[in-house]
Structure 1
């Protein structure tokens, strides 16, 4: 049941990360929190299988940190890709 606390924290921090990163109008509001939550769930589960206990601080730090790190990286990549694609589209249309 403690995984729910980690997932709620990851989702909440993912929302904050979405609003903290620039050019948020180029991506959906649910992308960053969804990536953060899914990654946190996977890392938390893998670490539990590896023997980390629920009271182990590293379980929480690594799982939530990995979720936020991957969410930030994927959001930055998605935003950069969208910016390049929009610029190419404008150039092809002669705008």
Structure 2
């Protein structure tokens, strides 16, 4: 049941990261929170299987904060790629 706390925390921080990262018009509103939540589930489960206890701070830092950092980095990379693709499409069309 503690995994729900990690998932809710990652989702909430993912929502905050969505609004802090620019280029919101180039991506979906759910992208960053969904990636953060999915990564938190995978990391939390993997660390639990590896024997890390629920009382370990590393479990919470890796699953909640780590997943949000990775999701934010993926979002920034996606926005950069989208801006580059849009610019090359505009140049190809002569706009």
TM-score, reference length from structure 1: 0.96
Unmatched runs of 5 consecutive residues or more in structure 1: none
**SS of corresponding position for 2:28:** coil
Unmatched runs of 5 consecutive residues or more in structure 2: none
Task: Name the residue aligned to 2:25.
Answer: 25
- Cα RMSD (Å): 0.7
Matched, 1:36 2:36: yes
Large movers: runs of 4+ above 2 Å = none
TM-score, reference length from structure 2: 0.96
Task: Name the residue aligned to 2:50.
Answer: 50
Q: Give a deviation string over 1:14-47, Cα, whole Å, max 9, x none.
A: 0000000011111000000011001011000010
**Residue 65 of structure 1: how far off its partner (Å):** 2.0
Task: Name the residue aligned to 2:77.
Answer: 77
